[in-house]
Structure 1
Amino acid sequence: MKKAVVLLSGGLDSTTALYLAKEQGFEVYSISFNYGQRHNKELECAKNIAEKAGVKQHIVVNTNMDAWGGSALTDESIEVPEGDENRKDIPVTYVPARNMIFLAYAASYAEVVGAQDVFIGVSQVDYSGYVDCREEFIKAMENAINMGTVCAVEQGRKIKIHAPFMFMTKTQEIELGMKLGVDYSDTWTCYKGDELPCGECDSCLLRIKAFEEAGFQDPLQYKK
């Protein structure tokens, strides 16, 4: 069976990507990151999702990106702002070079387990202004990975980065996920790690809007 590494945060996008990889016949190896983020709620979800989905192996990489901060998600001195669907600037929840770092780890993991496919749930349609969610960046990372791995350079086994939601709205993604049988009650989207999602941050607003537009009930309860 062909193998794939799926970046699994425990959020809506990565969980849908995991189920899509399974539907496409891949044996899934999932990778999550404890990178010094504000809370570990998503990591708990990722563990449960991986178990329910029956992935071959689920690993958590520890890396202390909070050592330099620079984001509301890794620096306690920066508050998570209320959501703004009309925001045009890069939000303070952007974590500098996060997807670059994550994809580098995923490529290393893929090379070891013999996977030639890596799935990541990014979109440049509903991407909150994050520059590392664009197709241009994904293609550049794929090229760099295939110039710097033995499997690609010496063995002819190039690694393909799949970003299946790149040009899909989150509404379309949820519609697909429902067809794939994704249980979205297992996912966590909020930037905050309280008992209930806040319902006010950018991530919550995007999720709430997408479920409404898709015509499905969001299984999560919100503070507001």
Structure 2
Amino acid sequence: MSAARTPIGRAVVLLSGGLDSTTAAYLARAEGYELYALSFDYGQRHRRELESAATVARAVGAVEHRVVTIDLAQWGGSSLTGAGPIPTEPTTGIPSTWVPARNLIFLAVASAYAEVIGASAIFIGVSQVDYSGYPDCRGEFLEAYQRAADLASKQFVEEGKRILVLAPFLYLPKAGIVRLGLALGVDYSLTWSCYQGGDRPCGACDSCRLRARAFAEAGVPDPLLSSARP
């Protein structure tokens, strides 16, 4: 029997329970990291994605899974937190489902968590190829955030040790993410993407449309559609 591989280090994985973040968690594990999953209860319309995040964290063997509560709904600004209906048709510009500063806030918490536990990396599953146009899913934002995180880090200032912010799917189409995830053994029936919550995906929101196109372009069925709760 071969010896277990020694982890190359610890990684914080921002885990929403969706397709991209789940694939990022499996990729981090495949690369040899010890996983620390981090999810947020931020006032989103439903808890289904948090249920999926917990299930995925167990499936991928995370050392721990923390859920941080930050009430981003208290000032509104997004249909995901109840400020208006979820759009079911394509829109121009940045859609109402954008949550102001969400990834900035999530990454800041992830940086604090990573520094305390001695993690060397933070994984975030954003892509700017097939996405809703959110400004905090772009390479320009992540480059700027990395610099800010370095300047705010005790270990970077004292030791020059950077906590890398890794977005491995930034330039990868969502169909490519699906193909990679299947090669890594991801069970996509455990994930949840729909903005509406509920027992079955609505099939009409932007996230559902992007997910459906990804599986269609990857040439495989979405197992969530056949395994959704009755």
TM-score range for the pair, normalised by the shorter chain length: over 0.9
Post-superposition shift, 1:156? 2.0
Q: What residue number does 2:187 align with?
A: 183
Q: Check if 1:82 corresponds to 2:88.
A: yes
DSSP-derived class of the 1:146 partner: helix
Q: What residue number does 2:4 align with?
A: none
Q: What residue number does 1:138 align with?
A: 142
Q: Is the 8 A contact 2:52 2:190 kept in 1?
A: yes
* 1:136-195 CA distance string (max 9 Å, x none): 000111110000010111122211111001000100110100000000000000001111
Structure 1 counterpart of 2:201, one-letter code: P
Q: Check if 1:193 corresponds to 2:202.
A: no
Q: Which ranges of structure 2 fall in alignment gaps of 5 or more residues?
A: 1-6
1:169 to 146, 169, 173: 173
Q: What residue number does 2:69 align with?
A: 62
Q: How does 1:1-224 map to 2 (within 5 A)?
A: 1=7, 2-75=9-82, 77-84=83-90, 87-221=91-225
Across the aligned residues of Structure 1 and Structure 2, the Cα RMSD in angstroms comes to 1.2
Q: Give, in whole Å, the separation in 2 of the partners of 1:42 and 1:155.
A: 38
Q: Give, in whole Å, the separation in 1 of the partners of 2:41 and 2:58.
A: 18
Q: Is the 8 A contact 1:88 1:129 kept in 2?
A: no
* 1:181-222 CA distance string (max 9 Å, x none): 000000000001111110000000000011011011101228
Q: Percent same amino acid at aligned positions?
A: 54
Q: Is the 8 A contact 1:7 1:14 kept in 2?
A: yes
The TM-score, its normalising length taken from structure 1, stands at: 0.96
Structure 1 counterpart of 2:63, one-letter code: K
Q: Give, in whole Å, the separation in 2 of the partners of 1:61 and 1:139.
A: 25
Q: What residue number does 2:3 align with?
A: none
DSSP-derived class of the 1:65 partner: coil
Question: Which of structure 1's runs of 4+ aligned residues deviate more than 4 A?
Answer: none
Q: Which ranges of structure 1 fall in alignment gaps of 5 or more residues?
A: none
* 1:75-122 CA distance string (max 9 Å, x none): 2x41001042xx431000000010000000000000011011000000
Q: Is the 8 A contact 2:131 2:210 kept in 1?
A: no
Q: Give, in whole Å, the separation in 2 of the partners of 1:92 and 1:51.
A: 32
Q: Give, in whole Å, the separation in 1 of the partners of 2:62 and 2:136.
A: 26
Q: Is the 8 A contact 1:126 1:169 kept in 2?
A: yes
Q: Give, in whole Å, the separation in 2 of the partners of 1:133 and 1:126.
A: 11
DSSP-derived class of the 1:30 partner: strand
Post-superposition shift, 1:127? 1.8
